[in-house]
Amino acid sequence: MPTLPRTLAVLVACLALAAAGCGGSDTSGNGDNAAQTATPTPENTGGEQDTGCATARQPPAKHVRLPKPAETLDPAKTYVATVTTNCGEFQITLDAKRAPKTGGSFKYLADKGFYDGTTFHRIVPGFVIQGGDPLGTGTGGPGYSVVERPPRTLAYTRGVVAMAKTQLERAGTSGSQFFVVTGDDVGLPPDYAVAGTVTDGLDVVERIGALGDPATEQPLQPVVVRSVTAASSP
């Protein structure tokens, strides 16, 4: 099956980035190519004294396929996902009102431990950090997708968390890959399902965002997600 570019922006939003740098890759179906393995990455030789991140090894690929969840978020409740990485911890308040299906899928994956031991495989300074791929290559997913078109007025500003998709997928389609916006306003069209907003630990997100090579969009050292947990409150 041909590989499709995973697009997070139209060309004008990529500014000085080359068109090929506007996304990773994905097979259609949000990760149906489960046989693909991650490309080996050398062990990180950096450390806390240089980047604020603990030294970490690139984790192995995870080949996981899950049934599509029926879970949706209750708009009367508050849901907070805590993302713990080797660079620190940040929290995402899931958007239960505007994205109950997308947020429900994100919480489902967190509850299943799907994100644990994955990486931020794509880091574009001043644009986004992208993770949630169990293969670590930009081609993986959970084996299902959900569709929930975001509001047409949605602006992808600093701290917004949204879901990645291929160019050929419908607006609002998502699997497991997500991105956190690190630019002030990256000018994306409202095609990417909103998951929530970083409400604590934005400094950690920006620390991770500084660890990307603008030319390759690859991390300069492994940024590993140790765990993602989600909790709700009335």
- Per-residue pLDDT tens listing for the chain (234 residues): 233 334 443 333 333 333 333 333 333 345 443 322 222 233 333 444 479 999 999 999 999 999 999 999 999 999 999 999 999 999 999 999 999 999 999 999 999 999 999 999 999 999 999 999 999 999 999 999 999 999 999 999 999 999 999 999 999 999 999 999 999 999 999 999 999 999 999 999 999 999 999 999 999 999 999 999 999 998
Cα–Cα dist 13/191, whole Å: 13
Residue-range domain boundaries for the chain: 4-29+78-233
The predicted structure's pLDDT at residue 161: 98
Interior CA angle at 10 toward 30 and 118, to 5°? 35
Positive or negative: CA dihedral 200, 159, 61, 216: negative
The pTM (predicted TM-score) of the whole model is: 0.81
Confirm or reject CATH 2.30.42.10 for domain 4-29+78-233, answering yes or no.
Answer: no
Structure tokens given for 116: 């644990």
Query: DSSP string spanning 100-112?
Result: HHHHHHHHHHHHT
